[in-house]
């Protein structure tokens, strides 16, 4: 049973739910065997069916550096290593300067620069900073060697 339309509202005739569905009051068409449509294999490098272009690779600096399927690290690995080493050395010198500059002189009640504090701080922090530099170098070399292995296979 259908409800009568509410007075004042326009009447819209019932439409079929799908293009293949029969109109209201008509019987369903007979079932016939239909072959499945054939789908050709996509061209190499093409995206999934229905997508016009293949997915794009990220273009960020570190995204490309960590992507071991490209030779990106072959070109820019040395630059990353140099920038990291410069940053570590600048931080090391700045921490040594802060240690020497904050030396308090008890005779004049002022802070003054102490070269001996500067040198002691540099020597105390040297093992850690050398370890950081070696770890950055190791990381860049590991990524570089994984690119070479990926290119062979």
User: Is the predicted pLDDT of residue 34 greater than 70, yes or no?
Assistant: no
Looking at per-residue confidence, does 138 or 3 come out higher?
Answer: 138
Predicted TM-score (pTM) of the model is 0.51
Q: Is 96 exposed, middle or buried (0-12, 13-18, 19+ CB in 10 A)?
A: buried
Q: What average pLDDT does this structure show over 6-28? A: 63
- Which whole number is the average pLDDT over 137-144? 88
At residue 131, the pLDDT reads 97
**Per-residue confidence (pLDDT) for residue 30, from 0 to 100:** 59
Residue 81 has pLDDT above 70, yes or no: yes
Q: Cα angle at 78 between 73 and 84, to 5 degrees?
A: 105
Given a cut of 90, is residue 95 above it in pLDDT?
yes
């Amino acid at each position: 049973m259908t409800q009568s339309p509410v007075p004042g509202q326009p009447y819209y005739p019932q439409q079929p739910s799908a293009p293949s569905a029969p109109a209201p009051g008509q019987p369903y068409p007979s079932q016939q065997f239909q072959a499945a449509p054939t789908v050709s294999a996509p061209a190499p490098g093409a995206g999934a069916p229905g997508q016009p272009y293949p997915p794009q690779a990220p273009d960020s600096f570190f995204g490309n550096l960590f992507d071991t399927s490209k030779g990106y690290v072959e070109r820019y690995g040395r630059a990353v290593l140099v920038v990291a080493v410069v940053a570590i050395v600048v931080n090391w010198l700045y921490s040594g300067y802060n240690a020497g500059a904050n030396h308090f002189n008890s005779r004049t009640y002022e802070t003054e620069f102490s070269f001996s504090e500067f040198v002691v701080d540099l020597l105390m922090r040297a093992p850690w900073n050398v370890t950081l530099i070696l770890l950055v170098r190791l990381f860049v070399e590991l990524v570089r060697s994984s690119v070479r292995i990926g290119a062979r296979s």
